[in-house]
Structure 1
Amino acid sequence: MTTEVRIRPATGDDAEAVSALRRAVYSYKVMSPEAAHHMITVFSPAERFLALVAEVDGQLVGWGSAGLNNWTSEEGQSNISIYVHPEHRKQGIGSALADRLHQHLTEVGATKVRTFAQPDGLEFARNRGYDGSRQMHFAGVDTGALPPQPPTPEDIVLVTMDTLDPRPVFIADSATSLDEPSDVPMDAADYDEWLDEIWTAPGLDKSLSVAAMVGDEVVCFTAVEVDGDRSWSGSTGTIPAYRGRGLAKLVKSVALRRCAAAGVTAAYTSNDDENGPMLAINNWLGYRRVQTELGLLRTL
């Protein structure tokens, strides 16, 4: 008997099931039900974001989303994400999601599509016209086994992000994103969209996220997202004038200790293969690689 698969638009009510599915597929990626709800319901109209779910017998077994990348000045750039529960693969669910999403991207004017795939999903992606562009390494660390915390320089004050106004954080985030390894420049961040999608996102725990300050300026920061006993390093960056002083190592050390005190036992992060300085910092902190995903590109 053939099992019927239902594909429909995702709604906020799917958040808990989407979070559980994501954890089943990506044990090293962290997204709480609250963060999943935010992802499904809060986005800029300019993204033309479409989120779909696949159900079998009422159980959510697949996710697919696609939209334009409006954080770059290069027009026509877009992203797609598809994942299916391991027990429901090879049944055409991923293909059905891919067909719907690629059609949507074509209709909204996308010309290039980027995605990431685990090694066992590479054949699926290549069969749909994707080719390799870069590698993303995922790593985890036991928060109870950290190296000694580096000393804080005399001109630096460490604070948690829940004590800060968002504007200085946005300025630092925008500055550090400009030279982050990527196929497209992240040079078109909008403050109001950043507030909606990043700063007010429920996954961001500002009490665990740490910034290094010089006066009123954020010169280095690390953003922490939490789901139960797991945390995720959303982003870490140092503005160019303060690089080479070990500040990223310092703020991550402080944040990981705060995570441990809050009951987080496993912390995860990701790094582009070309980001040597951050890979070195995470190796020093004790992160150990758990997966490498392949960054892939398709021209529509």
Structure 2
Amino acid sequence: MALTVRAAAPRDAVPVAGLLRAAEPHLVVTPELLAWQATGKPAERFGMLVAEAGDGIAGVARTGLLHESAEPGLGFVNLVVRRERRGRGVGSALLAAAEERLAGLGVRRAYARVADEPAAVSFAERRGYRPGRRNLILRLDLTVALPAPPAAPPGVRLIAAADLPDPHPLYEADLDAAADEPGDVGMDEIDYADWRAAYWDRPDLDRRLTTVALVDDEVVAFSVALTDGGAAYLSGMTGTRREWRGRGLARLVKHASLRSARSAGHRQAFTVNDAGNDAMRAVNEWFGYQRVAAERRYLAELPRRPSSIA
């Protein structure tokens, strides 16, 4: 059966969202999110490629620039192939087209999220990708009662992000908390306008469930909630400003967000935890999160060449 790799079209949003959710149930993916990613984050230069066979879309590659890093020439390529089409050349065709697109954008090093499974790891390593950091995918059953909420330190109050009169203090806290967050790529080169476009304006950000801790008007900790407007709930990031760590604020804001999610009818919560981030792993274990999967960040050096795929 002939296979065609092409740039995704608007009509592909619904089947691609279904393919991604089937492969990675912990992710919050909707057709609206995919459409926004294609138009709402200009600095990322997001582009989605699909492999199409006679029976529909067989796989997808999401590509773009890691524009938050001060290091130039970094990009990403994340592949998903329909399970029944794996081992038949779909992934190889998509990866070749994705690398061509990235090279045309000036990317010299590509990062890929790879399921920590033998077949996926073997595919990546045979194509010259080498392993980076490992993430744990954790799930929490929200039908079970949460632990008792921790007490807020004196002077700290909690509000929903929706009640922030101005999100700039959250931007400042996000940059400060991410400065030493474990990861392969740092978040050290994103201005406020790009941050708003990439995070505050994203359609899956639930500002009612996202919780921030304030001292006066300064955001000192936060827990970001991503939802699909239905059952899916994913902790996007829980962070504390460095000078405020060690006071239990991560547990405090995440507890408030999870409690709000439970009240809103969510029955399970997912989070992605860097395997080397022991402090956050301890917080998630305290809540009762259980590991359901794992993934690695793989990276490869790319040759520079012009792109023929938009």
Distance 2:55 2:39 in 1: 21
The SS at the match of 1:114 is strand
Distance 2:4 2:259 in 1: 44
Shift of 1:34: 2.2
What TM-score results when the alignment is normalised by the length of structure 2?
A: 0.92
> 2:247 is matched with which residue?
245
**Contact kept? 1:113, 1:298, Cα under 8 Å:** yes
Shift of 1:112: 1.1
Is residue 116 of structure 1 aligned with residue 117 of structure 2? no
> 2:153 is matched with which residue?
153
**Contact kept? 1:8, 1:54, Cα under 8 Å:** yes
Shift of 1:191: 1.1
> 1:53 is matched with which residue?
50
Alignment of 1:1-300 (within 5 A): 3-44=1-42, 46-57=43-54, 59-118=56-115, 119=117, 120-145=119-144, 146-164=146-164, 165-227=166-228, 228-300=230-302
Which structure 2 segments of 5+ residues have no match? 303-310
Distance 1:264 1:17 in 2: 24
The SS at the match of 1:211 is strand
Decide which moves more: 258-267 or 26-35.
26-35
Distance 2:85 2:135 in 1: 25
Which letter does structure 2 place at the counterpart of 1:77?
A: L
Which letter does structure 1 place at the counterpart of 2:51?
A: A
**Contact kept? 1:16, 1:36, Cα under 8 Å:** no
Which letter does structure 2 place at the counterpart of 1:240?
A: R
Shift of 1:83: 0.6
Decide which moves more: 175-184 or 32-41.
32-41
Q: Identity over the aligned pairs, expressed in percent?
A: 37
- Say what the alpha-carbon RMSD is for the aligned residues: 1.4
Which letter does structure 1 place at the counterpart of 2:278?
A: G
**Contact kept? 2:138, 2:272, Cα under 8 Å:** yes
**Contact kept? 1:11, 1:41, Cα under 8 Å:** no
Shift of 1:58: 5.7
Which letter does structure 2 place at the counterpart of 1:72?
A: S
Which letter does structure 2 place at the counterpart of 1:275?
A: N
Distance 1:111 1:36 in 2: 25
> 2:305 is matched with which residue?
none
The SS at the match of 1:124 is helix
Distance 1:13 1:151 in 2: 49
How many residues align? The count is: 297
Decide which moves more: 11-20 or 213-222.
11-20
What TM-score results when the alignment is normalised by the length of structure 1?
A: 0.95
Distance 2:269 2:11 in 1: 27
Shift of 1:59: 2.5
Shift of 1:108: 2.0
Which structure 1 segments of 5+ residues have no match? none
Deviations 1:53-86 (A, max 9, x none): 2223362331102222111111111111111111
Deviations 1:279-298 (A, max 9, x none): 11001111100111111111
Distance 1:192 1:201 in 2: 13
